Amino acid sequence: MSAKKTAQLDPQQILESIENQIEMIQVLNEEGKIVNEEAVPKMSDEELQELMARMVYTRVLDQRSISLNRQGRLGFYAPTAGQEASQIASHYALEKADWILPGYRDVPQIVWHGLPLWKAFLFSRGHFVGNQAPEGVNVLSPQIIIGAQYVQNAGVALGLKKRGKKAVAVTYTGDGGSSQGDFYEGINFAGAFNAPAIFIVQNNQFAISTPREKQTAAKTIAQKGIAAGIPFVLVDGMDPLAVYTVVKEARERAINGGGPTLIETVCYRYGPHTMAGDDPTRYRTSDLDTEWEKKDPLVRFRKYLEEKGLWNEEKETEVIERAKEEIKDAIKKADETPKQKVTDLMANMYDEMPANLKEQYEIYTAKESK
């Protein structure tokens, strides 16, 4: 290529041209009104009601989990309020045969996929039983290492493809996770092998206290799919119908040989990063919180359903009371589970225990039997 030709290709202009074409998909505005008829998903009245019920239930679960954590009855916990559309609507677009590889904030999705709630509580306590999903429940344990699930998701998706399964592997991370090397390795591998994977980045604006604009110079996280050669979508993560639509389309594309998709859901977490001492008032303003609360996914979806005559205060109260009762039963069952022992850790860690640990195991077993 001549020097003259090269000079005509201004990289900055190319970048701006691409970024200016990226539009965020939205179906419902903040008032619960349809703003994009073409993107409205084909959902029955019963499906719309069930999605709303799951979102309300999940908000209650978050509130109760925070209370249980403060009481010392749960261990590690990452709040989810504000991300119900991103989490629950994306999961609602999946099928039972699909695999979910969650991050540590994504416990609601694996609970709705079939992990018993009492086991989710045990996971929070660090109990090994909390990592034992029932047979036929296709979930992995929530990943604590930031972004590591992206590489694993590519591998699970490739395995599904090799076995001829009509299913996808779905994983989640936050905007901070997109700065990890595993993020790009995962989407690149899946793209190279055309694996049926869906990669979701829940851009909730802050990775602990680091704002999204300090994660990358890119206008969107979604556009990072370009480098991996895979489709990408930017969606309003506070809009359950929009999230459902894009994930449903990504799934259909994947199981029909279209390969992986990278989805960025633009959302917000109302609470702290985790309950382990984070104070969001040190890095977020009350004005910013108020601005995002106006976009609340439950509020806009409630308005939409009420106008259609599909939701009312009575229905919501029923869901709230059911959630409280089931959460109470689940924490009781978690409390009744035998406490984890040192020998449990040793036995679960190794298929064939090393000689020095076997000796210690026998000593501890003898002590525990007394």
Active site residue 350: no
Q: How many CA atoms lie within 13 A of 313 on its CB side?
A: 0
Q: Are residues 213 and 344 in the same domain?
A: no
- Is residue 100 domain-resident? yes
Please tell me the pTM assigned to this model. 0.94
- Is residue 283 domain-resident? yes
Q: Are residues 203 and 301 in the same domain?
A: yes
Selecting among 59, 105, 212, 269, the annotated active-site residue is 269
Q: Are residues 281 and 172 in the same domain?
A: yes
- Is residue 7 domain-resident? no
- Is residue 328 domain-resident? yes
Blockwise average pLDDT, block size 10, the chain, 370 residues: 60 89 96 96 98 98 97 96 98 98 98 98 96 97 96 98 98 97 98 98 96 94 97 98 98 98 98 94 96 97 98 98 98 96 89 92 86
Q: Are residues 72 and 165 in the same domain?
A: yes
Question: How open is the CA angle 93-146-158, to the nearest 5 degrees?
Answer: 50
Q: Are residues 138 and 202 in the same domain?
A: yes
Residue-level pLDDT at 1: 46
Selecting among 64, 283, 322, 364, the annotated active-site residue is 283
Q: Are residues 324 and 366 in the same domain?
A: no
Selecting among 273, 284, 300, 302, the annotated active-site residue is 273
Q: Which structural domain, as residue segments, surrounds residue 227?
A: 14-337
Contacts of 169 (CB under 8 A, 6+ apart): 98, 99, 100, 101, 153, 154, 156, 157, 160, 195, 196, 197, 198
Residues 251/168, Cβ–Cβ less than 8 Å: yes
Name beta bridge partners: 234: 264
Active site residue 212: no
Region at 319 (left for phi over 0; alpha for psi -120 to 50; beta for the rest): alpha
How many C-beta neighbours within 10 Å does residue 253 have? 17
Q: Are residues 277 and 348 in the same domain?
A: no
Residue-level pLDDT at 342: 87
Q: Domain of 84: which CATH number? A: 3.40.50.970
- Whole-angstrom distance, CA of residue 293 vs CA of residue 287: 10
Convert 338-360 to b/e letters by CB count within 10 Å (16 or more is b).
eebeebeebeeeeeeeeeeeeee
- Is residue 6 domain-resident? no
- Is residue 2 domain-resident? no
Q: Are residues 367 and 296 in the same domain?
A: no
The domain total for the chain is 2
Q: What are the φ and ψ backbone dihedral angles of 88, each rounded to 5 degrees? A: -80, -40
Q: Are residues 26 and 153 in the same domain?
A: yes
Q: Are residues 169 and 211 in the same domain?
A: yes
Residue-level pLDDT at 14: 87
Q: What is the largest CA-CA distance in the chain?
A: 85
- Is residue 217 domain-resident? yes
Q: Please name which of 85, 134, 126 lies closest in space to residue 295, comparing C-alpha atoms.
A: 85
- Is residue 54 domain-resident? yes
Q: Are residues 296 and 365 in the same domain?
A: no
Name beta bridge partners: 266: 203, 236
Active site residue 270: no
Q: Are residues 212 and 101 in the same domain?
A: yes
